[in-house]
Amino acid sequence: MNSFKYPVHGVGLGLRRAMLSRLADQSTESVNFWEVAPENWINVAGRYGKQFQEITEKHPVICHGLSLSIGGPTSLDETFLQRLKQFLKEHRIRYYSEHLSYCSDDGHLYDLMPIPFTEEAVHYVANRIRYVQDVLDQRIALENISYYAAPGKQMEEIDFLNAVLQEADCDLLLDVNNVYVNSINHRYDTEAFLQQLPAERIRYIHVAGHYQEAEDLLVDTHGSAVIDPVWRLLEKAYALFGVVPTLLERDFNIPALSELLEEVEVINHLQTKWINRACDHIQHT
């Protein structure tokens, strides 16, 4: 896969307001791009607004939404879509992604709910994705989510995901931690799942930590360090798809910035390793 396909390159970090005060005291040269939830920054003014504008002027920034509710039963929020479109243009945001889930039904549910894995849901969601892409006048990516129940399931997760991507003609944000969490909770093979993904649609990757509730139950929390099996799964993704831009997520229990940058360096190391391996392969062919 060629780098021109990607909206950003290298390694990214999710930007949280709690980090802003630390950025001036810590070098972040190892971070190639930042990701924000637009809902947390739209119409933000004052000190935070100025700091955010400084970041978007100096660094590549992408957006990962929280409230689009692409699979929700109620109409899409037209007012939010117009505000989002303006925000993306105003701050020259490189790309926009959302969750393949829903979070509202005449009011926010404050969680990411799984869309039923059915043919009917494929058509419904794909139609809404196409509409959002038309409104925003750009392609978007949908993220494979973690889920703990599959109500009304008529097809496998991978088949549902691929069907939505194909019918909507949209892109994929691949979350390798969610693949790992789901593989434990729903007992499937991670590598087989990755091998069935449409490589040409992957725009970037998320990696994060989770919580082990029990031996056979993991909870996707983004509140702890990435564990070794997830790092290994990221390497499998690089082996299959090449070195895709990869972002470290941390949403709560946020440690010192230096600790997050240590995990950023792990991603940098893995990317360099696979780039060198690819170069060696080319030289010997």
Q: Domain map of the chain by residue range?
A: 3-283
pTM: 0.93
Q: Give the contacts of 112 (CB within 8 A, at least 6 positions apart).
A: 99, 101, 102, 103, 145
pLDDT of residue 1: 37
Q: Give the contacts of 187 (CB within 8 A, at least 6 positions apart).
A: none
What does the pLDDT look like over 221-236, one tens digit per residue? 888 999 999 999 999 9
Query: What is the spatial distance between Cα 259 and Cα 270, in angstroms, rounded to a whole number?
Result: 17
Phi/psi for 218 (5° steps) reads -110, 145
What does the pLDDT look like over 173-207, one tens digit per residue? 999 999 999 999 999 999 999 999 999 999 999 99
Q: Give the contacts of 21 (CB within 8 A, at least 6 positions apart).
A: none
Q: For domain 3-283, which CATH number applies: 3.20.20.150, 3.40.30.10, 2.102.10.10, 3.20.20.70?
A: 3.20.20.150
The pLDDT-based confidence of 104 (bands split at 50, 70, 90) is very low
142 close to 98: Cβ distance less than 8 angstroms: yes
Is it the case that residue 112 has pLDDT exceeding 90?
Answer: no
What does the pLDDT look like over 145-182, one tens digit per residue? 999 888 889 999 999 999 999 999 999 999 999 999 99
Q: Give the contacts of 245 (CB within 8 A, at least 6 positions apart).
A: 6, 7, 8, 9, 10, 11, 12, 32, 33, 203, 204, 205
pLDDT of residue 95: 98
Is it the case that residue 38 has pLDDT exceeding 60?
Answer: yes
- Assign 104 to helix, strand or coil: strand
pLDDT of residue 278: 81
Is it the case that residue 16 has pLDDT exceeding 80?
Answer: yes
